[in-house]
Every structure is written in C-alpha cells, then in structure tokens.
Amino acid sequence: MQKKVSSIMFRSATFKLTASYLALTMTISLMFSIVVYRLAASDIARGIHLQSQRIYNQFPVFRDNPILRPDKDIDSGIHALLLRLVLFNLVVLMLAGIVSYLLAKITLRPIEEAHEQQKRFTADVSHELRTPLTALRMESEVALLSDEASKKELRDTLVSNLEEVSKLENLINNLLRLTKLEVSELRQNFETISSEKVALDARGQLTNLASNRKIKIETNLVDKRMYGDFPSISQMLVILLDNALKYSSSGSSVSLTTHAKHQGVVFIIEDNGVGIPKDSLDHIFDRFYRANSSRTKSIDNEGHGLGLSIAKTIADIHQAVITVSSQVGKGTKVEVYFPVDPSDLTPQKPVNK
C-alpha cells in the first residue's frame, strides 16, 4: 500500500513538473511568435507598399488599376504568416510535451531513488532496533513471571539484557557515525599523512582482539605520504581488519600491507578465513546486508551489517577505490587504493606523526 501511494505521489509530481516545463516552453515560444509576427507583418506591409510604389512610379497607368490592391496582398501575407506560426507552435507543443515529460522523469529519478533508499533504510533500522528490544522484553517478562527464579537465573537474565543493550548501543553509534560521514565537512580535515602511521594505528586498535582470538596480524608496510583525514582512514582500516579477524579461525593470520601504486598508495587486507560467496560480493557494502548463515554461523556477534558500509563511505569521501576478491573456504582479499599524490597538493600540512 505504501509503495502504491509513493508511486502515485511521484507520478503526480512528474505530471506537475511536466506541466511546468511545458508552460515555460510555450510561454517562451508564444512570446517569440508574437515578436516574429509583429516584425514580419511590419516588414510584409512595408515591402508590399514599397513594391507597389515602385510599380506606380514606373508605370503610372496602374495607379488606379483595381487589379493592384496592396492591402489585399498585405492581408494575404499576414494570414499566411499567422498560419505558419500557429502550426509552428502546435509542433512545439507536441515536441515540448514529450521532452518535458522525459526531462521531468530524469529530474525526479534521483529524488525517487533517494526516497526509496530512505524508506528501506528506515525499515531496516526499525527491524534492527526491534530485534534486541523484543529480546529484552521477553527475557524480562519471563524473569518477572517466574516466582521461583534463582539468583543465578536473574543474573543471567541481566547479563543477557546488557548484551542486548550493548548491541543497541553499537547500532546507534554506527548509525550516527554513518550519518555524520554523509553530511559532515570531513574534507576540511584533510591533511598530508603517513600511510605507515595510519596502518599501524589501525593495527594497534585491534591488537588485544587479535590476541584474544589467537590470530596474528602480519604487516608489511611501505611509508608513503597520502592526503586525507587520519582518524577516518584509520577507522576504515579497523573495520576491514576487524571483519577479517571475525571470519578467520583461531591460530591463523591476517595480513596488512601497503605499497605505492601509480601516484597513490594501496592498502591490502588479506585473510585465510571462510570467504564470501560470489552472490554476496556485490552487496557486502550495502547497509544492513549480511551474508548467508553459512558465513556467520560460527560468529558469536554477527553485527548489523553497517561496518562495511561505513568503510565504503569513508573510501568514497577520499575518492578511494575498494576492490574485494574472495573464494569460499580460502579467504578474502580487500584492496583500497588512494590515488591522490600529496606531492602535487599545495599547500601541504605537516605529516601526521
């Protein structure tokens, strides 16, 4: 029902915008036609009078001849001109109607797509918020209804509720972070930074997590100057590394390497984990998208499918390109290429140490 209402709304907006374009076009066309009509009618009258006068001067015998009637010729010429202008405006009306409709569709298409995306986003957020809230309510109600619940059972319920609250907190923080990335003036914070420093900063944030999971983060870093926002690039690398750790088995390793490429720098995060199915590769950066259960069944906390979307947004802001290749059962490789050469940028700020 809501989709039908939205479709009707945009159809109505399309016709209204078409009518506006058409009215504007026809107003210009009619004004142009009026100007042409007046100028051409004046020229026709002046031309016929001059021609008649020339004939009278050369052949005075025709001066009183009823066959030569300049006024009739003038009326005939003006009538023919008016007919042509009417036909011209009818053609303009038909063509302008078609063009205006197509232009209205093109104009409204990005708005309609953004509207649909916003509706999907709102629906996804509602669903993701409802799940932990439902769990909180059910567990609390069960605990309250049980008169014989032990202290341990009540404690377990509180621990479970705190876990759900933590999930809600992470979801809300990610949503706020994603919104901030889309509307903030992040580019104003760009400066010349070190690719090695930002990679080491990201690795440092995940050292304890990797140690707890008994996974080694191997690095092979080449220091190159790049241009961007240090905290957001570090956050992007943390998200990609965390994702690699999440889907790697205990005792394995994840590699983080950097090297120069063309005039820019590329970051490579590679793991030997469960991999990503081919049908999921095109959607992993979509908001709230999570691969099938075969990829997440061994993961305690699947997340909300926002991390990679945040990483993609950060990359887009920096005009970086993310490339993902993966084989199920063999692992995943993520490359992030930053094409900007800071040596061509002036003025430069000091390298972030």
Count of domains forming the chain? 3
Residue 349 within a domain? no
Closest CA to 237 of 260, 276, 265, 212: 265
Phi, psi of 325 (to 5 degrees): -130, 140
CATH code for the domain of 248: 3.30.565.10
Q: Say yes or no: 193 and 325 in one domain.
A: yes
Residue 352 within a domain? no
Q: Does the CA dihedral 128-210-258-177 come out positive or negative?
A: positive
Q: Say yes or no: 212 and 336 in one domain.
A: yes
Cα–Cα distance between 28 and 34 in angstroms, integer?
A: 10
Q: Say yes or no: 74 and 204 in one domain.
A: no
Q: Say yes or no: 112 and 211 in one domain.
A: no
Q: Are 269 and 254 in contact (CB under 8 A)?
A: yes
Q: Say yes or no: 193 and 316 in one domain.
A: yes
Which one of 61, 94, 118 terminates a domain? 118
Phi, psi of 60 (to 5 degrees): -60, -20
Residue 123 within a domain? no
Residue with tokens 């945009």, as numbered in its chain: 10
Low-confidence ranges of the chain (pLDDT < 70): 1-6, 48-73, 117, 120-125, 127-128, 131-132, 149, 167, 170-171, 174-175, 177-186, 287-305, 341-353
Q: Say yes or no: 317 and 205 in one domain.
A: yes
E-only strand ranges, the chain: 191-194, 216-220, 225-228, 253-261, 264-271, 321-327, 331-338
Tens digit of each residue's pLDDT (9 = 90 or more) over 123-156 = 666 766 776 677 778 777 777 777 776 777 777 7
By residue count, the chain amounts to 353
Q: Say yes or no: 215 and 291 in one domain.
A: yes
Phi, psi of 138 (to 5 degrees): -65, -45
Which one of 164, 183, 202 terminates a domain? 183
Q: Say yes or no: 53 and 168 in one domain.
A: no
* pTM across the whole model: 0.58
Tens digit of each residue's pLDDT (9 = 90 or more) over 33-70 = 888 888 888 877 777 666 666 665 665 655 555 555 56
- Per the structure, the complete domain to which residue 141 belongs is given by 128-183
**Per-residue tokens: 152:** 């341990």
Which one of 83, 118, 153 terminates a domain? 118
Residue 350 within a domain? no
Which pLDDT score is estimated for 229?
Answer: 86
Which pLDDT score is estimated for 1?
Answer: 58
Q: Say yes or no: 114 and 219 in one domain.
A: no
| Contacts for 39 with CB less than 8 Å, ≥ 6 apart | none
Phi, psi of 338 (to 5 degrees): -100, 110
Q: Say yes or no: 223 and 177 in one domain.
A: no
Q: Say yes or no: 272 and 326 in one domain.
A: yes
Average pLDDT, rounded, for the chain: 78
**Per-residue tokens: 113:** 């797509």
Tens digit of each residue's pLDDT (9 = 90 or more) over 243-266 = 899 888 888 999 999 998 888 899
Which pLDDT score is estimated for 267?
Answer: 96
Residue 136 within a domain? yes
In DSSP terms, 217 is beta-bridged to: 254
Residue with tokens 């906390």, as numbered in its chain: 301
Phi, psi of 337 (to 5 degrees): -105, 120
Residue 249 within a domain? yes
Cα–Cα distance between 275 and 331 in angstroms, integer?
A: 4
For residue 149, the Cα-to-chain-centroid distance in whole angstroms is: 51
Cα–Cα distance between 334 and 211 in angstroms, integer?
A: 22
